Chains A and B, each alone.
Chain A
Amino acid sequence: MSYARNLRCRECGRDYPLAALHVCEYCFGPLEAVYDDEAIRAAVSREAIAARPATLWRYREFLPCEADSAVDIGAGFTPLLHARNLGKALGLPRLYLKNDTANPTWSFKDRVVAVASSRARELGFEKLACASTGNLANSVSAHAAAAGMEAVVVIPHDLEAGKVLGSSIYNPTLVKVRGNYDAVNRLCAELAGSRNWAFVNVNVRPYYAEGSKTLGFEVAEQLGWRAPDHCVAPIASGSLFVKIRKGLDEFARAGLIDAPRTRMSGAQAAGCSPVATAWAEGSMNFRPQRPDTIAKSLAIGNPADGFYSLVQLRDTDGACASVTDEEIVAGMRLLAETEGVFAETAGGVTVAGVKQLAERGRIDPDELVVAFITGAGFKTAEAVAGGLAPALEIDATVDSFEAAYGPPAEEVPA
């Protein structure tokens, strides 16, 4: 059963029922699910969780919907890899990767949409909707298909082909909008306000956002029931960034791990860096930006949780990196060439961000660091396709092979 009790405004603390609400009527602060912590503490144990299926629903007590009737396409419990080669390259011997490319639609968005779609169905919605630069669209389309719900997915007209196909295959109503980023954003805000649909990241956002906590839960469990010393995650809306830490804190309150002292650092693309820019200026007020970066999955110029990201950076002694498009591509290649993980551009931002923060001494080499790789590389193949080593093209003869590759070694293996 779910132990969610109500929604609460993060700013003024007013309580609201567990309905399709996302913003406080009085102060416009965001609403967040709150739980019966004591009941959760009494109900959970490491052993019970460890015995459950390897999906995010193993953390059912901490989620704001009923797990038994959830929309479950297998999201979550992705690998945590000790990145020895990448760690060696960056001078971080205790570097781990949380590989969320291994989700059903190949990005971390499956976590948030699993929860949002489950709660939307509980609330009686028949249509699941989103406005997305790709990953969210893919996940909404897939979960709606599995839930027997209609999907309405709005995307900018110039998305990468892989991200468009990754939605189309599930047969949603796919709407490509002509116009710049601001125009798409404004249209979607109007649609969200005027249709009785479950817009996953708008009117059911308090439930949606809770899905990201499961990254914190999994990392703690996979490290042997302990919090990492330092997390580095990409910042788009900022929701993922703040919820990872919320997950660690909730695990501690439930008695599953010791109180975390985890430092939280972020990474943004220089072409869309409202949080990183404010952080570099020492300000807690970010200025919205017009995105211009190849990291389209992070291209949110006016992040809903931008302020809370800055608060978390400050309160946990974190830091925020800002990396160029060239550094993003280099980060994608470094990750692939050292660890065999092909990430999309957001993963390049994370790896380049870890590199930058390590070089600047903002990550201690002794720290156990977890870097969050949030989406798979085939979605943004265009970003790296032009710069890779070409194949050796040969005729079907040994001579031709040797001419291209080189002669055989002196000893031929048995």
Chain B
Amino acid sequence: MAVRRLRFTFPQDLIKEPVIYLIGRQFELVTNIRMADVDERTGWVVLELEGEPDEIARGVAWAESRGVRVDPVTGDVVEG
């Protein structure tokens, strides 16, 4: 089992969709919202995902396929 902390950024057209509920239903993942800021135009959620590494990767790929931007919570690791 692994835990990944990720920042999900939602575009306006996904604000009303229960993406976090669905990622927990469709994949063997425990979701834990640690921080969030959502308004009517955009929103971000810092999410802990707990599960097997492959399952986390599949869940993240699914969220991205729906239009969610997924980033490491501490910002980009690649630097200049």
| Distance A189 CA – B46 CA, assembled complex (angstroms) | 16
Chain B residues lying within 8 Å of A188, measured Cβ to Cβ, are 77-78
Q: Which of A22-30, A51-59, A80-88, A332-340 contacts B (4 or more CB under 8 A)?
A: A22-30
Q: A28-B5, A28-B34, A287-B9 are in contact. Are A237 and B79 (CB under 8 A)?
A: yes
The answer to whether B32 has its CB under 8 Å from any CB of chain A is: no
> Does the CB pair B74–A27 fall under 8 Å?
no
Chain A residues with CB under 8 Å of B37's CB are 285
The segment from A35-43, A62-70, A296-304, A360-368 that touches chain B is: A296-304
Interface size on A, residues (CB 8 A): 42
The B contact surface, by secondary structure, is: strand
Known contacts: A28-B46, A287-B9, A287-B42. The answer to whether A131 contacts B77 by CB under 8 A is yes
The stretch that binds A, out of B13-21, B23-31, B65-73, is: B65-73
Tell yes or no: B40 within 8 A of A by CB. no
Taking A189-B72, A288-B9 as contacts, is the C-beta distance between A236 and B78 under 8 angstroms?
Answer: no
Given A27-B35, A28-B34, A287-B42: A303 in contact with B75 (beta carbons within 8 A): yes
A301 adjacent to B76 (CB under 8 Å): yes
Residues of A within 8 A of B42 (CB): 287
B77 in contact with A189 (CB, 8 Å): yes
Interface residues on B, range: 10 to 19
* Closest chain A residue, CB of each to CB of B44: A285
Chain A nearest CB from B74 CB (Å) reads 5
Closest chain B residue to A237, Cβ basis? B79
Partner of A136, one of B7, B34, B72, B80: B80
B-contacting residues of A (Cβ < 8 Å)?
22-23, 27-28, 30, 109, 130-136, 156, 181, 184-186, 188-189, 192, 199, 201-202, 236-237, 285, 287-288, 296-306, 346, 375
8 CB-based A-B contacts, threshold 8 Å: A132-B78, A134-B80, A136-B80, A192-B77, A202-B77, A296-B80, A302-B76, A305-B75
